[in-house]
């Protein structure tokens, strides 16, 4: 049995889920023709920052290290419990990370749908108190949240061609240190949107380049019940599902293998979220 959710709007066309899956009412007019349209405005006055070869993509200063540790301390010991209380976070499949930990000795990439202001916190909780580095949309670093985004591990994706050499150098250093990398392959956040949007291919090119296992994660929603209604009745509760790691086959040509990893991650996330029919393909790149 399944539910047809097409009546929720153009961006939910042909969207069907298993009977037990909860789909929140849309909180915005999501476009049915552009899955990469940015729906969240950048807060505050925009700073004049150029993301070229002069920008510091990987900050190694003592000031950054101090703030990075402070931010993670607050995240682990304040945001994590608050996420459980306010959003009722449930984590399903986290044992797959523990069971496959030997595969992650040289680092790993996690991917997740981008549907909540705290979705990165959900990913970090599923990762069991690990730090992560997150390539992000550069423009957002110009806004009010730019400092916070950088100190939690955000790395701006260059806007100018000259910046990619410095960006690649930063990623090479992280890989040499066997760090964990997280990417939202949908590229922008659509709040409480249940369908899975197409994926940008860059994340999976990176996984192939560094021979990183890819752990697909997906956020789904539950209705707000009981005492949690004291917070905000219009905000659904959250479940994050953790999938089995996908290992890149380096004996297969890059373009072919990148597409396989991307498509497999997309299918696994659809299944974990209980989606029977999705309005978007795995990519439109």
CATH number for position 142: 3.40.1130
Greatest alpha-carbon span in the chain: 56
Angle at 146 between CA 141 and CA 149, to 5 degrees: 105
Q: What is the pLDDT of residue 45?
A: 83
Total domain count for the chain? 1
Answer whether 121's CB lies under 8 Å from 134's CB. no
In a domain, 235, yes or no: yes
- DSSP assignment of 240-251: EEEPPPB---TT
The rounded Cα 12 to chain-centroid distance in angstroms is 21
Inter-residue contact 52 to 160 (CB < 8 Å): yes
| Helix ranges, 197-237 (H) | 202-209
Structural domain for 163, as ranges = 2-277
Whole-number Å distance between alpha carbons of 50 and 154: 16
pLDDT score for 42: 84
Alpha helices by DSSP H, listed for the chain, are 62-74, 80-86, 95-99, 119-126, 146-151, 164-176, 202-209, 254-272
The pTM of this model reads 0.94
**CA atoms 106, 166, 157, 73: torsion sign:** positive
Q: Does residue 201 sit within a domain?
A: yes
Residue 82: how many CB atoms within 10 A of its CB? 12
Would 8 be classed as within a structural domain? yes
Residue 25 has phi, psi (to 5 degrees) of -65, 140
* Residue 282, in any domain of the structure: no
Domain presence at residue 73:
yes
**283 falls within a domain:** no
Asked whether residue 222 is domain-assigned, the answer is yes
Per-residue pLDDT of the chain (285 residues; tens, 9 = 90+): 899 999 999 999 999 999 999 999 999 999 999 999 999 888 888 888 999 999 999 999 999 999 999 999 999 999 999 999 999 999 999 999 999 989 999 999 999 999 998 999 999 999 987 889 999 999 889 998 888 889 999 999 998 888 999 999 999 999 999 999 999 999 999 999 999 999 999 999 999 999 999 999 999 999 998 888 787 778 999 999 999 999 999 999 999 999 999 999 999 999 999 999 999 999 986
Give the span between the Cα atoms of 240 and 123, in whole angstroms: 8
Q: Is 260 exposed, middle or buried (0-12, 13-18, 19+ CB in 10 A)?
A: middle
76 domain-assigned: yes
Predicted pLDDT at 206: 95
């Amino acid at each position: 049995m399944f539910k047809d959710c097409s009546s929720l709007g153009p961006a939910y066309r042909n969207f069907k889920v298993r009977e037990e899956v909860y789909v929140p009412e849309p909180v915005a007019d999501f476009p049915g023709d552009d899955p990469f349209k940015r729906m969240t405005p950048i807060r505050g006055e925009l700073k004049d920052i150029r993301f070229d070869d002069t920008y510091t993509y990987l900050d190694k200063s003592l000031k950054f290290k101090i703030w990075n540790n402070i931010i993670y301390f607050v995240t682990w010991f304040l945001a994590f419990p608050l996420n459980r209380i306010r959003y009722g976070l449930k984590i399903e499949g986290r044992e797959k990370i523990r069971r496959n930990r030997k595969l992650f000795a040289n680092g790993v990439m996690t991917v997740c749908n981008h549907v909540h202001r705290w979705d990165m916190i959900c990913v970090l909780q599923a990762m069991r108190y690990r730090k992560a580095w997150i390539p992000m949309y550069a423009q957002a670093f110009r806004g009010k949240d730019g400092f916070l985004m950088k100190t939690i591990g955000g790395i701006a994706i260059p806007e100018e061609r000259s910046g990619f050499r410095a960006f690649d150098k930063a990623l090479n250093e992280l890989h040499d240190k066997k760090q964990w990398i997280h990417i939202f392959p949908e590229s922008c956040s659509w709040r409480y949107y249940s369908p899975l949007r197409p994926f940008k291919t860059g994340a999976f090119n990176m996984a192939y380049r560094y021979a990183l296992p890819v752990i697909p994660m997906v956020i789904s929603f539950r209705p707000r019940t009981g005492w949690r209604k004291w917070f905000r009745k219009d905000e659904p509760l959250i479940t994050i599902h953790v999938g089995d790691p996908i290992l890149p086959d380096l004996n297969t040509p890059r373009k072919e293998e990148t597409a396989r990893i991307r498509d497999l991650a997309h299918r696994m996330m659809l299944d974990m979220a209980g989606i029977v029919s999705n309005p978007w393909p795995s990519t439109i790149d």
